[in-house]
Amino acid sequence: MLVKIKRQKDAESAPYWQTFSVDADPDMTVSALLDRLNYTDDLYDAEGVAAPRIRWECSCSQKMCGACAMVINGIPKLACAAFLRDEKGDVLTLEPLSKFPVVADLIVDRSIISENLQKAQAYLGTYRPLRKKDFEQMYAAAKCLKCGLCLEVCPNYSKGEHFFGALFANEAALLALQSKDRAKPLREAYDKHFAAGCSKALSCVGVCPMEIDTLASMARMNRSGK
């Protein structure tokens, strides 16, 4: 099959497209396909031109870390959870996430995510006894990988300067449930950095690899202000 990759040498270089031909099984994941390309003795593109190894991030390969987030055939996904059999068309197109600075090839700098959580002082305060009815929602929100896919599809998120996106809403709800003293400041940060900018497009819900119910987190935070 043909794999078309949007490449970039480094943050200062101009992006370019390069196509590769690879023998791939439909049951392979995109991450396995990238490994196959990179682990050849010498890498050449479809035109026979020598090419540098494809740079991309990977850690667990089990949909548990979010490192391999990228845009696959126009849709933000985790490469380790995207199977070739589910991708349509004769050419597989891979691009880096567009709402984060590119480091190289398919690697982006997502440090803005942690920086925004620090800016909003999203941390656990004085621990409060947990209620059994809150367990399910807490468990769901805690599964967030901070992969950035929800930010990639969000029509309201651009550079993260003011609007922090769905992952922040989930984090705020999770911490507010567990803290005696953090609920009010977290609600204020939620109002400023999420509620004021969310248009309820809910594209974040459909793209989340962990299927987190962000609506439940939003409802929880909205009720906390009444």
Query: 3-class secondary structure for 47-99?
Result: CCCECCCCCCCCCCCCCCCCCCEEEECCEEEEHHHCEHHHCCCCEEEEECCCC
Same domain, 95 and 135: no
The tokens for 12 are 């200062």
Same domain, 98 and 128: no
- For residue 219, give the DSSP letter: H
| Mean pLDDT on 165-170 | 96
Cα angle for residues 192, 173, 151 (degrees, 5° grid) = 65
**Residue 182 CB-density burial (10 A; 0-12 exposed, 13-18 middle, 19+ buried):** buried
Instruction: Evaluate if residue 32 carries a pLDDT over 90.
Output: yes
Instruction: Evaluate if residue 226 carries a pLDDT over 70.
Output: no
Instruction: Evaluate if residue 188 carries a pLDDT over 80.
Output: yes
Neighbours of 150 (CB within 10 A): 27
Pick the last residue of a domain from 108, 134, 169: 108
Average pLDDT, the chain: 94
Q: How far apart are the first and last CA of the chain?
A: 56
| Total count of domains within the chain | 2
Pick the last residue of a domain from 82, 108, 134: 108
Instruction: Tell me which of 148 and 220 has the higher pLDDT.
Output: 148
Instruction: Evaluate if residue 17 carries a pLDDT over 90.
Output: yes
Per the structure, the complete domain to which residue 26 belongs is given by: 2-108
Instruction: Evaluate if residue 159 carries a pLDDT over 70.
Output: yes
DSSP-based three-state secondary structure for 20:
strand
Instruction: Evaluate if residue 189 carries a pLDDT over 80.
Output: yes
Cα separation, 137 vs 132, whole angstroms: 10
Instruction: Evaluate if residue 211 carries a pLDDT over 60.
Output: yes
pTM beyond 0.95: the answer is: no
Instruction: Evaluate if residue 225 carries a pLDDT over 70.
Output: no
Same domain, 100 and 117: no
Output the pLDDT for position 111. 97
- Distances, alpha carbon 5 to alpha carbons 30, 38, 46, 169, in Å: 12, 13, 12, 33
Instruction: Evaluate if residue 128 carries a pLDDT over 70.
Output: yes
